[in-house]
Amino acid sequence: MGKMSTKISKVREIPRSPAKPMGEVGRSGIELSIIIVDYKSTDFVIKLISDLSKHLLTVRFEVIVVDNDSKSSAAGKIKKAHHNLKNLKIIKAKKNLGFGAGNNLGVKEASGEYLLFLNPDVKVVDDSIVKMLDFLVKHTEIGALTCLLYQPAGAEPACRTDRASAGRRDAKNFQRHFFGRFQTLLTVLLRRQAGKIPIIHDEFFYCDMVTGAVMMIKSEIFQRLGGFDENFFMYIEDEDLCRRLVKADYKNAVLTSARLIHYEGQSSTSLEKKKYYYKSQDYYWQKHYGNFQTAIMKALRYPYILWQKMK
User: Tell me: the pLDDT tens digits for 170-183?
Assistant: 444 445 554 444 44
Cα–Cα distance measured from residue 113 to residue 31, given in angstroms and rounded to the nearest whole number: 5
Contacts of 49 by beta carbon, 8 Å cutoff, 6+ apart: 36, 63, 65, 78, 81, 82, 85, 88
pLDDT, residue 14, reads 33
pTM of the model: 0.77
Cα–Cα distance measured from residue 145 to residue 129, given in angstroms and rounded to the nearest whole number: 11
246-284 residue pLDDT tens: 999 999 999 999 999 998 755 555 767 788 888 899 999
Cα–Cα distance measured from residue 164 to residue 168, given in angstroms and rounded to the nearest whole number: 6
* Per-chain mean pLDDT for the chain: 79
114-143 residue pLDDT tens: 999 999 999 999 999 999 999 999 999 999
Query: Any idea which architecture 32-310 has in CATH?
Result: Alpha-Beta Complex (3.90)
